[in-house]
Structure 1
Amino acid sequence: MTTTTASFGASNAAILKDTKVQSGSFQGLKSSDSLALSTRTVPAYCVSSSNRSLIRAVSTSAKPETVTETKRSKVEIFKEQSNFIRYPLSEEILTDAPNINEAATQMIKFHGSYQQYNRDERGSRSYSFMLRTKNPCGKVPTQLYLTMDDLADQFGIGTLGLTTRQTFQLHGVLKKNLKTVMRSIIESMGSTLGACGDLNRNVLAPAAPLVRKDYLFAQQTAENIASLLTPQSGFYYDVWVDGEKVLTAEEPPEVTKARNDNSHGTNFPENQFLPENFKIAVTVPTDNSVDILTSDIGVVVVTDDDGEPQGFNLYVGGGMGRTHGIETARPRLAEPLGYVLKEEILYAVKAIVATQRDYNRRDDRKLRMKYSRMKYLISSWGIERFRRFIEQYWGRKFQPFHELPEWEFKSYLGWHEQGDGNLFCGLHVYNGSIGGKMKKTLREVIEKYNLSVRVTPNQNIILCDIRKSWKRPMTTALAQAGLRRPRYVDPLNLTAMAYPAMPLCPLAITEAERGIPDILKRIRAVFEKVGLKYSESVVVRVTGCPNGCARPYMAELGLVGDGPHSYQIWLGGKPNQTSLARPFMNKVKIQDLEKVLEPLLYHWKHKRQSKEPFGDFTTRLGFEKLKELVDKWKGLAVSASRRNLKLFADKETYEAMDSLAKLQNKSANQLAIEVIRNFVASQQNGRNE
């Protein structure tokens, strides 16, 4: 038997030339060793660009006696029989069939892809693949962006998707083109390794390229954690680039040291796959651009009075996934675990992941959302017991959690100083979908100025390292493509999110990404009808199923698909994403949305306390009272539509405005009203000055 072992850094872009290992070296090890917490549990040779150096096998300890063996699910068996996540995928992608078999469908997830088919089509299934990149902190080199842009046109559906975990999604790739697309991504310093599957997903961090000690340290920590938890087997590169040496990179020595440390038995040679996907976010105090309380592990930089990073607060147990009809399968906020010194963070993370790996269920895949996420383990054990188990794996005690200031949601849209003399520009990407003229113009700007890019957890994009002299021409070019300053974007759109759902996601029950443009227009119409100001807003998030990909359970108004053309309505989140929403109504048909929202928004307008956000208002009144208001609602006698405002005097002006409005998914009337409001506001501000 021969195999390969590779080492990759935080960007997952590096591959080291493979080395043949004799069959005896792997005696007694299972195929699951390939995902061993990113630990080298087998003798392996690491080949750098200049020389070869032997890395000794890491010693392993026996599995804790307290772990109860259970019947493994079919997926767990697929993993163990996969020859380190190679079989049968490597064979299936070479066949003439447009799809791959069941086992390969599970294995390709670890490679960052899902097999899909168009659910809008009838008759035989039209198979394709979705690819998701791995971009810790949302960092995207210039060449990788240009490559993804090309691939979307050449092999995808012509659009480039931005995800809620700071990555790209490429839809519509045919099986015959998979190797070509994967190779292109790898050769452009990118990767899809670990973007899907039962392992650590993309590590979030604030996308803002601020030259500040705390932000830089948070982003470096996120990259180090991503590197630590990256699979160390060469399966990914064996399948997609035939084991070739593509490029090399050195990871920080502290990551290598932490990976190889087995002083407390975190590097087991068995059951190394996680039972479910795992999510980590890193941030700095006040900056909740990453929805810190929704991750399995939340890491917060703690600094001294001079702004020098000293350590980290850790949260654990957050998660959005749930299942309709199963009361115990619910979203959960992370809770404080403790504080660690900055040099201890990688060891503490390893200990947490090892606890999740070894003490969660692997038997019933259908109930994975009920039993296998870390949030359920903590709910069952309680935080104190969970902390004790982690401390056994870590070999140290957590220090008390440090007090933190209030969290704020930060979008980083618009123009900002980086702190090094350059600027960065945050652009609102409607629905996280880059296509058409917007896609063409973004490419031209990025290519012309050689800009690096960052993807935000709110499906927006940041252009980095912009010279001040470029601001004016860039602003003009971007505005002409519909990428306008935040002041010209409907406030409802600025914080709204939806996930793709129909027609490609097999779990979707109803629309989300395709449905949210109309939903937001209708909510805006209700705002106008009940007399709410244009500048006022609520956080709206929409998903087509209960799995929570767009984090709807943190929204002030969450719509979660629970049937064909119907949604479960969740209320009570906060604008800074620190409170969990609760289910308010079930099976609300999309055509009946106004019957629920109109009374809620009307009474928010008239009964709220000073500056009280919508989510806080719904929590304060209570759902029983709110349902009573909805049931008794008779509607308003006068609406904004009856004010008979004539905005266009001629057909030519209307058509020009309509053309601009379509770029922003608005009506001509909506855009005209926004322009007039902004003009009036600027004139008033000028007089005040």
Structure 2
Amino acid sequence: MSKQIDWSKLSEVEKLKYDSNYLRGTLEQSLADPVTGAIADGDTQISKFHGIYQQHDRDLEKERKQQKLEPAWSFLIRVRLPGGIASREQWLQMDRLADTHANGTLKLTTRQAFQLHGVIKRKLKATIQGINAALMDTIAACGDVNRNVMSFANPEESEVHAQAYQLAGDISAHLTPQTTAYHEIWLDEKLLVDGKKDYEPIYGDRYLPRKFKIGVAVPPYNDVDVFSQDLGYIAIQEKGKLVGYNIVVGGGFGSTFGVPETYPRLGDVIGFVRPDKAVDVAEKIVLVQKDNGNRQNRKQARLKYTIDRLGLDWFKAELNKYLGYDLEPARDYHFSRNGDRYGWVKGRNGKWSLNLFVEGGRVKDTDSLKLKTALREVAETVDAQFILTGNQNLIIANTDEKEKVSTILRKYGVWPIQLSGLRQNSIACVALNTCSLAFAEAERYLPDLMTKIEAILDEYGLLKEEIVIRMTGCPNGCGRPYLAEIGFIGKAPGRYNLYLGGNRNGTRLNALYKETLSEEEILKELRQLIAGYAKERNAGEGFGDFVVRKGYVKEITHGKEFKH
């Protein structure tokens, strides 16, 4: 088969995947190499399918070069956690692994997953084995496959929410790679009989052209930002009962400065499917993308570009062929917001859940806030679940011990706390110092910048006004900045592009307002905008709606119109 493929016309990653023997590559040799803290170049791509990214500490880059040392290599490990729900035992295990094998912190991601940072090569296998011991895994958390499937944060809110969570798990299980390489390399399980070859019934021997993301939303809340997903499900209810899902295709936010043919795109609603067909639809959409996605240019390989290249009508017709039936017409729905709702809520099971704000999704202890210690004590002493939200926050969920949880959190100053409407709706990607793609800070900088913006909001009586703000260190969109009412994308150290005009429910892209701004220039621009908003807004009008109405930016109706 290899001789029939003209590899010279394809992305080099395509040959790597094909030659990897179903994601084995030379990972075992790389892990055993004591000479370097890195793994082989080809294995850096294959390792992503196992949930691992090789990184280095960019804060130390110059110093290590001067000392003629290789970069300070370490690895990010991402845990696959469909729907974001962890048991107290799983939380405690991740807390322990963060201290013993990583940098002492946990990152709660915008895909409702755990990340560990700063894991060195010789601890990789032990860390993954520790994750597996808690009945979790890292396979398909990254790579050219379906990644962690998102769903509405708490399934105990209603029967429909429980069904949405179940769907996320069912899709995740169905689309998980079948290769035994993961168990062989990381868990030391020799599962293959001699002479027998692995087989991927959905992905084949080259997997997908690019990553694939799925989310399930339950109106009126769009906390998974369903239009940012390659494939989205919008739960449709009638009289409190789930009747099916609207299907959304073609969302995705990765783009590149200076490459105008790359752009963020919102997904299109293409039809409706009954619950019993929902997993089948996921498989067939993945297959359409596998067979038709661009394998020559990885910057054009996501499903959004396949749809724009071949046409939405073509895609719908092709999907119907793969399904053997037509999707039904889409049903009516309404989204009111895409942020989290903080505080205590009583569920249908009579138990209580508390949505906590976690700055930048980083669970750590500081001099002023012992968040990691507080959450460890809750997990050790309270019967509860730990639910990761799509906005990098945490729900201590489904507990009968509300007062005990409150007492512990008060002891460490974690809750209750006063938050501005801006900070409540903030997201920041990791960016510097570990992300190799970042041009500027995000997670380490946004809290300080927000403090200065909050001072301006307070001057104009807008401190409690909910405004969606997001920051990333590069244009790849990991923090979904293109949906923010105020979005920042790093252009260079200390310099950011400012984007305006998203809305509170995640249904509109923002647009570039000003380029390459310093902090002083950012605050100057925002002061003028906030002053105008305070004086001229309509009743109930969001900040993003205001800047579009007043013409500060034009409304973007399709990603092709987006410009950096």
Q: TM-score with structure 1 length normalisation? A: 0.75
CA distance in 2, matches of 1:362, 1:231: 19
CA distance in 2, matches of 1:205, 1:302: 14
SS at match of 1:442: helix
Alignment of 1:105-124 (within 5 A): 105-121=44-60, 122=62, 123=64, 124=69
Once the two structures are superposed, residues 297-319 of structure 1 have per-residue CA deviations (whole angstroms, 9 ceiling, x without a partner) of 111222333x2322211011111
Alignment of 1:580-591 (within 5 A): 580-591=509-520
Whether the 8 Å contact between 2:374 and 2:414 is mirrored in structure 1 is no
**Residue 622 (structure 1) shift:** 1.1
**Residue 160 (structure 1) shift:** 0.7
CA distance in 1, matches of 2:180, 2:233: 29
SS at match of 2:58: coil
Q: TM-score with structure 2 length normalisation? A: 0.91
Where does structure 2 lack aligned partners over 5 or more consecutive residues?
192-198, 556-564
1:448 is matched with which residue? 381
1:604 matched to 2:506? The reply is no
Whether the 8 Å contact between 2:338 and 2:504 is mirrored in structure 1 is yes
Q: 2:173 aligns with which of 215, 221, 227?
A: 227
CA distance in 1, matches of 2:48, 2:204: 20
**Residue 201 (structure 1) shift:** 0.8
Q: 1:102 aligns with which of 27, 36, 41?
A: 41
SS at match of 1:501: coil
1:281 is matched with which residue? 215
CA distance in 2, matches of 1:282, 1:115: 30
CA distance in 2, matches of 1:289, 1:624: 25
Where does structure 1 lack aligned partners over 5 or more consecutive residues?
1-27, 31-62, 246-259, 261-265, 627-689
Once the two structures are superposed, residues 130-183 of structure 1 have per-residue CA deviations (whole angstroms, 9 ceiling, x without a partner) of 101000000112221111100111111111110000011100001001111010
**Residue 269 (structure 1) shift:** 7.7
Q: 2:407 aligns with which of 467, 471, 476?
A: 476
Once the two structures are superposed, residues 200-251 of structure 1 have per-residue CA deviations (whole angstroms, 9 ceiling, x without a partner) of 1100001114252211111101100001100011111111011169xxxxxx
Once the two structures are superposed, residues 504-524 of structure 1 have per-residue CA deviations (whole angstroms, 9 ceiling, x without a partner) of 000000000001011101111
Alignment of 1:558-637 (within 5 A): 558-623=487-552
Once the two structures are superposed, residues 302-340 of structure 1 have per-residue CA deviations (whole angstroms, 9 ceiling, x without a partner) of 2333x2322211011111111111222111111111111
Q: What letter corresponds to residue 443 of structure 1 in structure 2?
A: R
Change in Cα spacing, 1:452 to 1:498, as seen in structure 2 (3 Å) is: same
Whether the 8 Å contact between 1:138 and 1:454 is mirrored in structure 2 is yes
Whether the 8 Å contact between 1:516 and 1:542 is mirrored in structure 2 is yes
Change in Cα spacing, 1:223 to 1:68, as seen in structure 2 (3 Å) is: farther
Whether the 8 Å contact between 2:23 and 2:49 is mirrored in structure 1 is yes
SS at match of 1:380: helix
1:74 is matched with which residue? 12
1:505 is matched with which residue? 435
Larger radius of gyration: 1
**Residue 95 (structure 1) shift:** 1.2
Alignment of 1:322-333 (within 5 A): 322-333=255-266
Q: 1:375 aligns with which of 297, 300, 304?
A: 304
Whether the 8 Å contact between 1:209 and 1:424 is mirrored in structure 2 is no
Once the two structures are superposed, residues 236-290 of structure 1 have per-residue CA deviations (whole angstroms, 9 ceiling, x without a partner) of 1111011169xxxxxxxxxxxxxx9xxxxx9578454111110000122212111
SS at match of 2:107: strand
Identity in percent: 35
1:392 matched to 2:304? The reply is no
Q: What letter corresponds to residue 101 of structure 1 in structure 2?
A: A
**Residue 465 (structure 1) shift:** 2.1
1:49 is matched with which residue? none
**Residue 80 (structure 1) shift:** 1.1
Alignment of 1:395-544 (within 5 A): 395-436=324-365, 437-467=370-400, 470-485=401-416, 488-529=418-459, 531-544=460-473
Q: 1:301 aligns with which of 235, 253, 263?
A: 235
1:88 is matched with which residue? 26
Once the two structures are superposed, residues 550-569 of structure 1 have per-residue CA deviations (whole angstroms, 9 ceiling, x without a partner) of 10100000000112211111
- Alignment size in residue pairs: 535
The alignment yields a C-alpha RMSD, in angstroms, of 2.1
Change in Cα spacing, 1:99 to 1:382, as seen in structure 2 (3 Å) is: same
Q: 1:346 aligns with which of 271, 276, 279?
A: 279
Whether the 8 Å contact between 1:314 and 1:338 is mirrored in structure 2 is yes
SS at match of 2:282: helix
CA distance in 2, matches of 1:554, 1:351: 28
1:320 matched to 2:253? The reply is yes
Q: Point out the more displaced range, 418-427 or 167-176.
A: 418-427
Once the two structures are superposed, residues 369-412 of structure 1 have per-residue CA deviations (whole angstroms, 9 ceiling, x without a partner) of 3x111111112222111101111111111110011123433513
Alignment of 1:162-311 (within 5 A): 162-243=108-189, 267=201, 270=204, 272-305=206-239, 307-311=240-244
